[in-house]
Structure formats: structure tokens, C-alpha cells
Structure 1
Amino acid sequence: MKIATDVYGYRTAIANIAFISGLGKNKDEWVLVDAGVPYSAKFILKYASTLFGSKKPKAIVLTHGHFDHIGALPVLLKEWDVPIYAHHEEMPYLTGEKEYPRPTPFIVKGLMSYLSPFYPRDGIGLHSNLHEIETGTELEFMQGWEGIHTPGHTKGHISLYRKEDGLMLAGDAFVTVKQESLLAVLTQKEEIHGPPAYFTPNRAESRESIIKLAKLEPSTIYTGHGKPLYGKEQIAKGLYQLIRHYDVGFAESPTVV
């Protein structure tokens, strides 16, 4: 699925990944953003081959380290052996030094929420391939892209933004489907929501991160869950409505777009 110029999206069961091309001096390099759910590696490799042939990515960038965003990494690294970039506050969860906090399955109702105590929370033991990403400025290895620290869902969560065309890869800072609901996940009903509530331990930080991203006035958003959304005014309306209702019911008042 083409999201925008040089950017392609791919859904791995319940979580999205992105392929960013057109990078490097000769515009022939590409980067993978996130690594999908477990057992999705062969599908990711097949799609990458369709897009780029045998050329491996310059790097893999992680918005965060939850299981549905790093699931294919062990297999992908055997095939590609490339640098993995993440925020420094995410590192202990990727190396296995820390586990993510226990889920809170009853903040927002839904089957996906109720199943969350069974989701993996441990790290995957990455070490030699890990590199710290510089946020708050244009990324050295991704010309035109800025890394933005957007904590709340996790301590080291990041989002990516391309100012040239207003394209935002938000990860799980906010999403475009009610991820707590299995029905919404299956139907991919387009709604701007806060991050999956069951795995968002710091709601105050999460709200501030959404405010930070809304101020950038994106024209296109592609998130870790849900479909891409287009239209600067429509996206702004959805984000600011989410912000207004965020403290009451934690994203129980979505904007249908």
C-alpha cells in the first residue's frame, strides 16, 4: 500500500510497518520502520523483495519495542544484519534488562484489552545492532525526516515526521482504529484514538505527546494500528477532539473520519 511519495505501508495482522525509500545520496536506499508481529518475517521479506529486490535496508527504526512492533526482528536480522535505531529510553526494554509495565485491561473496554494480560512484555535481547536515535532534529540517515520523542505509550516512544509533505508516522502515539476492540481491529473502522489504553502507563505524557504532534499540523498520518488518513483539516479536527476528551474516559470519545 503506497502511503505517500517513497513511503509504503504494510499490515502485519494487528500492527503496521512502513518502508521509506528514496534515501541516500543516490536516492536508492531505504529504511524499515517497525518490525510487525511475531511470525511475520517471511511476509515482510517478501514485500521488501517486491519493492526493492535484493537490496537490504539501510536500517530498521523502531517507534517502540512492544511485541507487535518487534516480532519479526530476530529473523530479519539474520537476513539483513543492519543497525536498529531506537530512543535511548527504549533500550532497556529491547535488550531484556527491563519488562514493560503490566497491562491495565479495564481502562477502555474491548476484547483486545481483556486479552492484554496474555501479551508478551519482555525484551528480545538485542545488543550489538542497537543504536540510539537522535530526536528533535533531522535524522542523519533519513534525509528530510525528523525523529520526535513522544513518550506515554512507552518511555522511549518516537514518531517520525517529514515536513516537506506533512507526512507523519506516529507509531502508537495515537492510532486510527480503536485498538482495544477486536471488532474495530477486524473491520479497520477509521477513528482517531489514543494509543492502546491497556499498554499506555503514563496517560498524562501520552496526551502531551499527542498535543506535540497535533501542533505540527500533519497532512497525512499513518499509525501503528489502523489505516492511513489524509487531509490536514480533517486530521487536525480529529486530533484536537481527541485531546479535549482524552482525560475523560481515555479516548472513549473518538472522531469518526
Structure 2
Amino acid sequence: MERNYSEKWQEYEKNFDHAVAEEIVRDVAYYRTLLSNIVMIGAPDEEWVLVDTSLRRYHNRILHACEERYGTKPPKAIILTHGHFDHAGSAKKLADHWQVPVYVHENEMEYVTGQKAYPPGDPTVGGGLISLLSAAFPTKPEHLENIVKPLPSDGSIPFLEDWRYIKTPGHTLGHISLYRDSDQILIAGDAVSTEKPESSWSVLFPFQHIYGPPAYFTEDWMSAEQSLKKIAELNPETIIAGHGIPMHGETMQKELKELAANFIERAIPKHKRH
């Protein structure tokens, strides 16, 4: 008899030898999960912070990737770019395991404390299989009460003196990106993508290009456009997006500026529910 889904998943969960972070610079690394990226800020011999936590049931793989880089040393905190299921899914289990706080922008607090659900995914935006499946994606609020705190209002990030957060709403109301001026590294969350996030082919064959935020979950396109323009004005040297392989250099900067200048034509779907 064919094994049921639960048994298959348990076997999959045990096999995470490939869950290893890839270093971008000495103190920044990322791990590419099934749907989204997590980012580790901090050199292996220093204190560190985790940015985003991917899907639920991914916590063991994330732990493995983090322990490969930092040993058993826990992070000082978890920072969420926003609260969607593919960015905050493992936040509670990881925070409980490490006994560390979680931080989000104050405008995301309702979505991560059980008070408010996100709008459902919009399969009418087109672009690929992931868009078609998006209506079934989880939108219920996370329950991070007692462990989640709002980020400071001045743009600073706890435990990350060299970094600041930038308000990049549009994909969600309280979406943020993280930026370091010294080397122009941008951790973009879903404000921008480096693969076509609506397409399952991009997950399997991640050709690098600059795209807008995942269309099926983007709530406010006018704000998303302004956020993209804000990012382009920074002229980042490296972008680590929530979806796709990190990009850097002149080609990325050129594509980013072109998208910012032509956002309505290139990023906003012609057909959408709202």
C-alpha cells in the first residue's frame, strides 16, 4: 500500500543534509527553501540575527542550516519582513526553540498576533502555476503573541547596528526591507523578486531577472510601485530577495531601474481581482 502524505513528509523532514546556507559576504548568508529565502546576518564567530522563517514545518531544516553555520549559538532575534505564510511560517517554533524575540513592523502586528487575516491569494493575476494555486495558500493570522515586538519607529533594527529597515509597503501594509549602507546590501523581502514568483518553473529553473512583488498576494499596487522606486533610488549593489537567487552588479541595477521606470506595464498584472 502506498504510504500516506504524512509518512512521506516525515521522511522528507529527516533528510536535510543539503540544508546549508550560502555565504554572500563574510557576515551575510542565505538559505533557499522550497518557496522563499531566509537570511542570516552575522559572521560564524559573531552574534547573529535571522531574517524570515519560510514555511511551517520547515523549522528543522532551518535549524540544520543555522547550526551548520553557527553551531548551537542561537540568534539574538528573528526579524520578519512581513507575516505571510512563506516568511513567518516557522517563526513560532524557531523562537520557542531558541527563546528569542521576533520583530515586525508595527503595521504587521495584527497579522502575527491572531487578530487579522491577509486577503486571499488572487489566481486571476496569471503568470504560472503558483498563481493558480494561490487561492489555497494560508492567510490566517499567525499567533506570535508574547514573543513578537514592533520594530523601533526610527528605522533601527535591534542587534544590527550597521543596518536599517526601510518601509516598503504594498505587498503588505507593514512590509519592510533591510539595508546596509556600507556595502549597499538590500534584503528585499517581497518588495522585489529575482525570479518570476508566480511561476513554478522559476523554482526549478531560477533564471535571474528583476521582477516585482508576488502578484497573487500584493495588496496595494500604488504603494508597491513607490516602494520599488525607493529601492531603485538606493542603487543597491546586492539584492537578496524573498524569492530567487541573490543578484548583484550592473545588470541587476539596470534591470531594477528599468522596472522602477516601467512598473505599471511590467509588474502590475493586466487581470486581477482588485
Q: Tell me the TM-score normalized by structure 2.
A: 0.86
Measured after TM superposition, the shift of residue 39 of structure 1 is 1.3
Q: Residue 244 of structure 1 aligns with which residue?
A: 261
Query: Any residues of structure 2 matched to 1:138-153 within 5 Å, and which?
Result: 138-153=156-171
Measured after TM superposition, the shift of residue 147 of structure 1 is 0.6
- Aligned with 1:18 (options 39, 42, 48): 39
Query: Any residues of structure 2 matched to 1:84-233 within 5 Å, and which?
Result: 84-134=102-152, 137-231=155-249, 233=250
Q: Residue 8 of structure 2 aligns with which residue?
A: none
Alignment CA distance shift 1:140-1:41 (3 Å): closer
Measured after TM superposition, the shift of residue 240 of structure 1 is 1.6
1:87–1:133 CA contact under 8 A, matched in 2: yes
Measured after TM superposition, the shift of residue 136 of structure 1 is 5.1
Q: Residue 234 of structure 1 aligns with which residue?
A: 251
1:108–1:249 CA contact under 8 A, matched in 2: no
- Aligned with 1:65 (options 75, 83, 90): 83
Question: Partner of 1:131: helix, strand, or coil?
Answer: strand
Question: Partner of 1:210: helix, strand, or coil?
Answer: helix
Percent identical residues: 42
Measured after TM superposition, the shift of residue 183 of structure 1 is 0.9
**Which ranges in structure 2 are unaligned for 5 or more consecutive residues?**
1-21, 270-274
1:108–1:250 CA contact under 8 A, matched in 2: no
Question: Partner of 1:192: helix, strand, or coil?
Answer: coil
Measured after TM superposition, the shift of residue 140 of structure 1 is 4.2
Measured after TM superposition, the shift of residue 191 of structure 1 is 1.3
Distance in 2 (alpha carbons) for counterparts of 1:135 and 1:149: 10
1:135–1:146 CA contact under 8 A, matched in 2: no
Measured after TM superposition, the shift of residue 246 of structure 1 is 1.7
Q: Deviations over 1:142-192 (max 9, x none)?
A: 010011110000000000001111100000000100010111221111111
Q: Which moved more, 1:123-132 or 1:241-250?
A: 241-250
Alignment CA distance shift 1:135-1:147 (3 Å): farther
Q: Deviations over 1:21-42 (max 9, x none)?
A: 149xxx7210000001121111
Distance in 2 (alpha carbons) for counterparts of 1:63 and 1:101: 17
Tell me which stretches of 4 or more aligned residues in structure 1 moved more than 4 Å: none
2:120–2:137 CA contact under 8 A, matched in 1: no
* Rg comparison, structure with higher value: 2
Greater fraction of residues in helix? 2
Aligned length: 248
Distance in 2 (alpha carbons) for counterparts of 1:72 and 1:140: 20
Question: Partner of 1:156: helix, strand, or coil?
Answer: coil
Alignment CA distance shift 1:249-1:241 (3 Å): closer
Q: Which moved more, 1:40-49 or 1:55-64?
A: 40-49
Distance in 2 (alpha carbons) for counterparts of 1:48 and 1:86: 21
- The aligned amino acid for 2:259 is L
Alignment CA distance shift 1:187-1:45 (3 Å): same
Distance in 2 (alpha carbons) for counterparts of 1:171 and 1:65: 11
**Which ranges in structure 1 are unaligned for 5 or more consecutive residues?**
253-257
Measured after TM superposition, the shift of residue 50 of structure 1 is 1.1
Q: Residue 19 of structure 2 aligns with which residue?
A: none
